[in-house]
Amino acid sequence: MANHKIPNHLIDPLTSSPSPSKITQVATLQNYIQELLGNTHHTFLQGSYKNGTAISDINDVDIVAVRKTTYSSAHSPRHFPSSISWDSIFSEIEQKLRNQRRYQWTIERGDKCIKITGAFNADVVPAVQISDDPKSDPVAVYSMRTGIEKMNRPRTHYDNGVLKQQATKETYKPTVRMFKNWVKNHFHDSDTISSFKMEAFVHAMPSDKFYNDYAGTFCLVGSAILDKWDRQLGQFSYTPSVCGVENIIEGWSVIDQQNFLNQLLESSGHALDAYNASTISDAEQKWRLALGM
């Protein structure tokens, strides 16, 4: 791809991951939560920290806590004469988290998780087994709001991300971080598009759209995402999640899809102008508009 005049100092922060010290903090926190829960649970990281797609200033971590030898009544073929309620499963973890003395944090129950708020924020997601191995996918998680158990495949998500990273010569994950920063800058705290959906869009794009020139990659991947807009339906066409099972378009409101489309159209135009700009000042101005900087 052709050279451009967009300064590196406007690109590099967008693709950067958290610092090694922050990653160490996350690992320490996960190990401590495992220690608190004991051998009745198997814990592991999921989400952007685990998948290597966390943006540099993120302060949230997702930890799954699988209750060993406890099986989903909705998704497991195994059945038992006795059962434990999801309320009890949540309460058991909440009590152990509240009784600790190392950190100053507050505990609050969310829809599918237990929220820890402190120097580092964490969502601990209670889960139960579906297969006989608590270390294999899928596991079952529960929504307090809907009362429905759902299959979750965080380790498959991770494995598929590793394969995509290899297929794109190590450029996939930095590209995901760049688009996540784009979402944060343009949509702030709105629910227009989640990080989960944004990562899935990037993952679904052909590997030949990814280059170590991230300005060019933003243009190519952004254009490929726009091509998924179905004008007849007035929404995006089928797009699989990173784990390959869900259609991320299902349940996404048409209004939010349209807002995402409009902003990506505008940003893609500015990014292309920045890429083709003849002066550094013009390239910088257009790139800032594209990424919401």
Same domain, 146 and 208: no
Tens of pLDDT, residues 19-73: 888 888 888 889 999 999 999 999 999 888 888 898 987 767 899 999 998 999 9
Same domain, 243 and 180: yes
pLDDT higher for 187 or 82? 187
Same domain, 99 and 200: no
Same domain, 136 and 191: no
Question: What range does the domain containing 70 cover?
Answer: 20-152
In a domain, 83, yes or no: yes
3-state helix, strand, coil split of the chain in percent (to 5) is 45, 15, 35
In a domain, 3, yes or no: no
Last residue of a domain, one of 137, 152, 167: 152
In a domain, 71, yes or no: yes
Record the tokens describing residue 203, joined without a space. Answer: 């993952």
Same domain, 119 and 188: no
Same domain, 95 and 193: no
Same domain, 39 and 117: yes
Confidence of residue 2 (pLDDT cuts 50, 70, 90): low
Element (H, E) at 268: helix 254-276
* Total structural domains within the chain: 2
Confidence of residue 89 (pLDDT cuts 50, 70, 90): very high
CA gap 57, 261 in Å, rounded:
26
Same domain, 47 and 124: yes
In a domain, 1, yes or no: no
Q: What is the mean pLDDT of residues 218-224?
A: 97
In a domain, 57, yes or no: yes
CB-based burial label for 123 (10 Å; 0-12, 13-18, 19+): middle
Whether the Cβ atoms of residue 202 and residue 179 lie closer than 8 Å to each other? yes
Confidence of residue 243 (pLDDT cuts 50, 70, 90): very high
Same domain, 164 and 60: no
Whether the Cβ atoms of residue 117 and residue 105 lie closer than 8 Å to each other? yes
Confidence of residue 101 (pLDDT cuts 50, 70, 90): confident
Same domain, 194 and 264: yes
Record the tokens describing residue 129, joined without a space. Answer: 């087994």
Same domain, 146 and 185: no
Tens of pLDDT, residues 135-183: 889 999 999 999 999 999 999 999 999 999 999 999 999 999 999 999 9
Record the tokens describing residue 102, joined without a space. Answer: 């190392």
DSSP 18: P
DSSP, residue by residue, 19-50 = PHHHHHHHHHHHHHHHHHHGGGEEEEEESHHH
251 has pLDDT over 70: yes
Last residue of a domain, one of 94, 124, 152: 152
Same domain, 163 and 134: no
In a domain, 110, yes or no: yes
Element (H, E) at 124: strand 121-129
Last residue of a domain, one of 107, 132, 152: 152
In a domain, 144, yes or no: yes
CATH code of the domain covering residue 59? 3.30.460.90
In a domain, 2, yes or no: no
